[in-house]
Homo-oligomer: A and B are copies of this chain.
């Protein structure tokens, strides 16, 4: 079943999660200026799934039930599925200019579907069956899922148990016949307060002796013991200080993350997908990372399209759309963005099936795409700044237009080409400001794992001996000489 945006809004309101923003408990997630944009973005995923124009990308046939389901709740069974998965990320970024908030949940589902199959084969456990039941549930109800990996980590030199507080990595503190009790926190969670289900994975590879930390499970939003604390970037504060229409990103805001606190939360066994199997944590994290770095590279492409579009619009407003040096900068932006698109799609096209039949993108290309996305996104941001000119930071608030004493001066002096209303020019500059003078670049660097994580992954994947052998052959150093 595919649900409507209205159903989604109502269902989240009913869940009533405990959410703090800047020290205050949020009364109504649907109305609060910092939570509303996240709900809007997720609602858009429901809206587009119902839109015939986008159904091919936004939905898929469940490989278990044959029903049409949200692609976010589908596990890819072909490279075509992987490609459409990447295209979905691009599309949603284009439509909202922010996170779609469901990628992590989707990638966590896929990684678990694939890994629980392998775990069960190796260990005789029944995690895969549990996961499939859960998958069918979210497909049938068309639930929005989020995923949670990153622990706070405290002192990075120390292993979890060496920390002053062992809870700095989320862990199982009790276990009984019914289920487990978990305690800890997950940070950097994009929009987790606005979904139905939160899927928790271990945030790193754990070692023997660290079994309490090797835990994966799903928990419904609104469960007793869960608390969310929202990020506070300047853009977040700005939404509370002014009309959202004046913030540049009226409907969807900047990407909004939160901390999730797990204050001894009970999880029944049927929702536990790993518990203590430290030897599988590395592979689980690795499959998730491969999936999510592909998604994370793809979503930047949609942002790139918007940044290019905004830069072009501003060049037009300034009368410079045809200037050769501006065109050259636009071409460079286009190139940079298409390079990321190409690499994200290459990761998908080169994907391979795992034992469960679920496809995972090519890990080399996934990590390459993510690294490249950081380099090229930086270029997009700086080139957009360059095209726009200084007004992109020095722009006064659109609120001035409401005051006739000062509004007349803005209308007189902030005009570009005369045929464009000052409101439009102001708004587009403010839109671009949110990109070139906001949290997106830092978000692009760290989302899906920081560059150092991708480099570690690539280091493990590169076959230097094979390349050395090729070089020796080409250099005429043949076997008899060695």
Contact = CB atoms under 8 A, between A and B. Distances in A.
A427 interface: yes
A150 B335 CA distance: 25
Contacts of A153: 318
Contacts of A308: 462, 464, 467, 471
Given A229-B396, A242-B22, A437-B442, A309 B464 contact: yes
B339 A345 contact: no
B477 A428 contact: yes
Interface residues of A, number: 166
Interface in A320-353: 320, 323-325, 327-328, 330-332, 334-335, 338-339, 341-343, 345-347, 349-350
Interface string A406-435: 110110111111100101100110110110
Interface in A201-252: 227, 229-235, 237-238, 240-242, 245-252
Per DSSP, chain A at the interface is helix
Contacts of A424: 477, 481-482
A134 interface: no
Contact of A23 (B95, B306, B309, B397): B397
A382 B416 CA distance: 32
A156 B471 contact: no
Given A231-B393, A234-B234, A437-B442, A470 B309 contact: yes
Contact of A371 (B335, B350, B391): B335
A250 B20 contact: no
Interface string A462-482: 101011111111111100011
Contact of A438 (B187, B234, B261, B312): B234
A462 B378 contact: no
28 contacts: A23-B397, A23-B399, A23-B403, A25-B406, A95-B470, A152-B415, A153-B318, A155-B319, A164-B415, A185-B409, A227-B406, A234-B437, A237-B237, A249-B476, A259-B396, A305-B467, A308-B464, A309-B468, A313-B468, A324-B324, A325-B452, A335-B368, A378-B382, A386-B452, A390-B442, A427-B475, A428-B472, A431-B471
